[in-house]
A and B are shown apart, each in its own frame.
Chain A
Amino acid sequence: MKTIKSGILLFVTLFLGNGLVFAQSGDEGAEPARTILRFTCINTSDDSIQLKSTLTVRRDEGSMNLANALVQYFAVGSEEDVLISEVKTNYQGIASIKIPTLNSFPRGEMDLFNFKAVYEGAEKYESSESEFSLKPAKLKVSFYEEDSVRYVKVEGTQLNIDGTETPLAETDVNLLVPKMFSMLKIAELYLDETGIGSTEFPADIIGDSLGNLTVVASIEENDIYGNVRASADNNWGLQKHLISPDRPSRELWTPIAPLWMIITLIIMLAGVWGHYVYAVVQLFRIKKSAKANEHKS
């Protein structure tokens, strides 16, 4: 009887345990997940406007990028919206296109283009949309040296509805350098009434192994111009040396281990292997003593 009871207990446990590892898939038949469409437009230096959307889906465990989702871009006019293009998101959830600045899309108040990005949704995902307005503009970045001091110069222009260009005046511009994970802000300058601004270039920015740098001038989320970006390269950066060959230091992250770590390891290994050797020596002594006894007998 005890055996039967024990057997039932084991069976129930195994039955409960069996398949648990498999049964971790997502919820079937759940409500559509909420999607978030982050839409932005960037005036680029090649007389284009980049329309960029990032589509994410909200889940309990956090946000996930939504790939292969169709995003539609519209130019919003006073009458009906004009479809510009349809783009699928990549594995980062980004759908991006570039359109030329000179085009026949309608403009709204203050000469602003109005764009709209739409995700129509799917069975598992809710729809979402977002709008962005901006006036066409562009920046130009250049470098010069005066009395051994290095400067960055930024010129800004805006494109009017009649096709004329006028200075992009009285606006703040950030100077950035792309790094591994994000953009490093190195300076900030102000465009005067002529649309020109300049500032001293910092001497302590690290470039690549030859000191090459890309400097990005950026106007971000301006009420009129939206985002405006332009970049230029120079070799004014400090040359990057990952590890100084002359002064190797003993750190957790360098090729040479800290001394305390080596000493600890040696003491531990010597202690352990010393005892092993002692045990092996005893085995040899046993064998030796066996031979001696054999000779005696």
Chain B
Amino acid sequence: MSEIISSDKLLKEFAPQIERTSLVGKIWIIFLIAVIFLGAFALYWQISRGHIVTGMRENVVWGVYIVNFIFFMGISYAGALISGSLHLFHAGWRKPIIRMAEFITIISLLIGPVFIMLCIGRLDRLPNLVLFGRIQSPITWDVIAISTDIVGCLLFLYLALLRDLAKMRDFTELKVPKWKKKMYKILALGYTGTAEQQIMLKRATDIMAGMVIAIAIIVYSVLAWIFSVTLQPGWHSTIFGPYFVIAAVYSGSGVLIVAMYIFRKTYHLEEHITLKHFVNVGVIMLVLAAFFGYFTFSEYLTKWYGSQKNDEQLIGILFKDYYLMFILSNYVGVLVPLIVVGFKKLRTINNITISAVIVIIALWLNRYLIVVPTLESPYLPIQDSREAWVHYSATWVEWSLTAAGVAMFCLLFTLASKLIPIVQVSDLKEEPKQVDDIYMK
């Protein structure tokens, strides 16, 4: 019995997003490419003149590049955890949003490691990481973990796409170029949705859903251990693994809400992505906000109470030089989602999206506060240290490349939505429409 039944109505609804690009869409793509070109120029500037054009120096050797790396890897793992969990727990409401979580996973996983490359002064020595890599080094763990994760997430995404690819292949009314048709045919692997094929696909997808959750936890913990195994004030912490994982999923839930909001507006998905979805992901964000707040409090309380010289110095810097950032990251970033999602009257799509934007900014700042102030207050002051080396301030080169990274994320997301429906068509059924007001009652 074929699973590919007449779902033409749904496909017809989503076909325009794949068939054509509106004028606004084209301007958006040109804008993103322009930002990427600015980043390319900054990269040329950095390579031709060396890392002296960045704000990184002998003391503060990591800056916004590492912050971006942690941030993008975080939202990637969040995407994997959210999509994997929703799949495994058969959450019925997940269907319209799970594809976005999967795209977030892959796209940010491809962009994140690029920022590490930008940090490396001698890229010609990069092969040494593989040729002479030591298993004892957390950097080696990270390389192994990220490459394993990329393969796993690609596989999971492909499994999740397979039924939609088959639908696109069989949808004769779709007006797309021949190469796209051919691509759908090759990638669909001849899947027709027979009972046997469904069982095999479900088995593989279930296993990979479990794997991406486990790998996401391990990989992000490994990333946290790069910091926590070092004897640096603010980094040498036993709770850094779970703290990073929670922060990652928290920021990822924010990115997912923003993506839901943008695609809902752009592709007019009001019928499929409703207030219910925003509230459900918002509740996930609320729970994570509470955990994130708890971990943050626990982390700083123990350091403050211990009163070790360097910890005191670090906390002094955080509450003096970085107090605005600290408040926005660890107070506003926690309290806003708790209030907005916690109070029923405030649960509107706009409010939840705004709190998600705040969460994203707060979590980026949180990573900045983890990386930079610690390097500004090391246990062992470097000999021949100059004042300019101790205080970090990112340059236009770093900001341009950061903007290019964000633009690349948006561009790849946009292009991905031009290849395959942003909503998982094969899982959707033509259900009675859910109206926001009905849900609110």
User: Interface on A for B, CB 8 Å cutoff?
Assistant: 2-3, 6, 9-10, 13-14, 16-17, 20-26, 60-62, 64-65, 67, 91-92, 252-253, 255, 257-258, 261-262, 265, 268-269, 272-273, 275-276, 278-280, 282-283, 285-287, 289-291, 293-294
Contacts and interface: CB of A to CB of B under 8 A. Distances in A.
A25 B322 CA distance: 10
Contacts of B316: 60-61
A280 B365 CA distance: 39
A91 B389 CA distance: 12
B183 interface: no
B74 to A, nearest CB: 18
B354 A20 contact: no
Contact of B135 (A265, A285, A286): A265
B120 interface: no
A159 to B, nearest CB: 35
A280 B208 CA distance: 10
A13 B328 CA distance: 8
Given A23-B324, A276-B211, A289 B148 contact: no
Contacts of A61: 313, 316-317, 376-377, 390
B218 interface: yes
A294 B317 contact: no
B343 to A, nearest CB: 13
Interface in B211-235: 211, 214-215, 218
Interface in B352-377: 353-354, 357-358, 361, 365, 368, 376-377
B218 A22 contact: no
Given A282-B203, A289-B196, A273 B148 contact: yes
Interface in B362-421: 365, 368, 376-377, 381, 383-387, 390-394
A25 B387 CA distance: 11
A266 to B, nearest CB: 10
A241 B390 CA distance: 36
Contacts of B313: 61-62
B127 to A, nearest CB: 18
Contacts of B194: 289, 293
Given A2-B348, A61-B317, A286-B191, A257 B393 contact: no
B350 interface: yes
Say which size band chain B's interface belongs to: 35 or more
A64 B328 contact: no
B176 interface: no
B254 interface: no
B204 A279 contact: yes
Contact of A3 (B204, B215, B350, B384): B350
Contacts of A293: 190, 192, 194
B189 interface: yes
A2 B189 contact: no
Contact of A20 (B324, B336, B381, B384): B324
B197 interface: yes
B361 A17 contact: yes
A76 B146 CA distance: 67
Contacts of A60: 316, 320
Nearest to A63: B381
B144 A269 contact: yes
Nearest to B158: A283
Contacts of A280: 155
A92 B383 contact: yes
Interface string B324-349: 11001000100010000000000010
B114 interface: no
Contact of B350 (A6, A253, A255, A291): A6
B159 to A, nearest CB: 7
B207 interface: yes
B354 A6 contact: yes
A62 B381 contact: yes
Nearest to A6: B350
A258 B137 CA distance: 12
Interface in B281-337: 313, 316-317, 320-322, 324-325, 328, 332, 336
A67 B386 contact: yes
